[in-house]
Amino acid sequence: VNQDQLKQAVALAALDHIKPHLEQDSIIGIGTGSTANFFIDALAAIKNQFDGAVASSEASADRLKSHSIPVYDLNTVSSLEFYIDGADESNRQLQLIKGGGAALTREKIVAAVAKSFVCIADESKLVDVLGTFPLPVEVIPMARSYAAREIVKLGGDPQYREGVVTDNGNVILDVWNLSITNPRELEAKLNNITGVVTNGIFALRPADILLLGTQEGVKTITA
Ligand code: DER
C-alpha cells in the first residue's frame, strides 16, 4: 500500500468518524495539505448531510468551493464540533508539528475553536520525539532576523523559507536541529519571541484523536 493509499484510507476513516455526529446545520473545520485534500474530496460525497466548512487556508477553501461546499468565515461561527487536519509529525501524546504547508496560523486558530481535533496521517508521521521534521515558525517580515537570533539561543538552526508568503502576509522560518523533548515548554517559549506569530508545535492544544494509516490498516490513537 503506497503513501497516497494510506492518506486516502485515513481520510475515509475520518469521514466515518464524524458522519454519525453530523446534522443539517453542522459546519466542519478543515485543514490543509495533501491528506486534508483527500478528506475534502471524500467529504463531497456527503455534502447534503451538513451545512458547510471553515477552511484553514485559501487553498483548502478553493478546493471546498470546487465541490460546491459552502465556506464560512470563522467569525460567523460560534463553535465547531470537529477540526480535521494532517500533520508533519505526531508523538504518542498527539502533540504535533505542523506548518509544512505554511498554513499553521489559520490551522491553529481553527483547531483552537474546535471541540475535537481529529488528526489524519500516514504512519511515516508518527515519531517518538518531535523535531526531525524542521519546525515551521511564522514571523512578521520585519522581525525575521531578530526572531532567528532568538531561536538560535533556544538551540535551533532557523532557515528562511525563501519565496513563501503566508495567507496572512508573513514569512516562515524552518527550524532544524531541535529535539523537542518538552513540546509544551518550547511552544510557549517560541510564542513569547516578539515578532513570532505562530509556531508549528501543537502541544498546548494537541490533537484529540489520531487516525493513523498503516500497512495493517487504520489505527485509532488517543493520548
Ligand atoms: O502544513 C500542514 O500543517 C499540513 O497539515 C501538513 O502538516 C500535512 O501535510 P500532508 O498531509 O501533505 O503531509
* Complex-level ipTM: 0.97
Q: Which residue has the cell 465541490?
A: 67
Q: Ligand 1 centre from 175 Cα, in Å? A: 16
Tell me the pLDDT tens digit for each residue of 109-118: 999 999 999 9
Tell me the pLDDT tens digit for each residue of 69-94: 999 999 999 999 999 999 999 999 99
Nearest to 74 by CA among 27, 31, 38: 27
Residue 125 has what DSSP assignment? G
Cα–Cα separations (whole angstroms), residue 155 to 177, 188, 198: 8, 15, 18
Helix axes of 34-43 and 3-18: crossing angle, nearest 10 degrees: 50
Give me the pLDDT at residue 117, please.
98
Give me the pLDDT at residue 91, please.
98
pTM equals 0.97
Pairwise CA distance, residues 197 & 87, whole Å:
19
The model's confidence at residue 45, banded by pLDDT at 50, 70 and 90, is very high
Contact 95, 202 (CB under 8 A): yes
138 is a catalytic site residue: no
Which residues fall in the annotated binding site for substrate? 32-35, 85-88, 98-101, 125
Give me the pLDDT at residue 79, please.
96
Residues with CB under 6 A from ligand 1: 31-35, 85-88, 98-101, 103-104, 107
Q: Ligand 1 centre from 88 Cα, in Å? A: 5
Mean pLDDT of the chain: 98
Burial of 134 (0-12, 13-18, 19+ CB in 10 A): buried
Give me the pLDDT at residue 75, please.
98
Tell me the pLDDT tens digit for each residue of 126-160: 999 999 999 999 999 999 999 999 999 999 999 99
What backbone phi and psi angles, to 5 degrees, belong to 87? -155, 160
Give me the pLDDT at residue 126, please.
98
| Number of CB atoms found within 10 A of residue 223's CB | 12
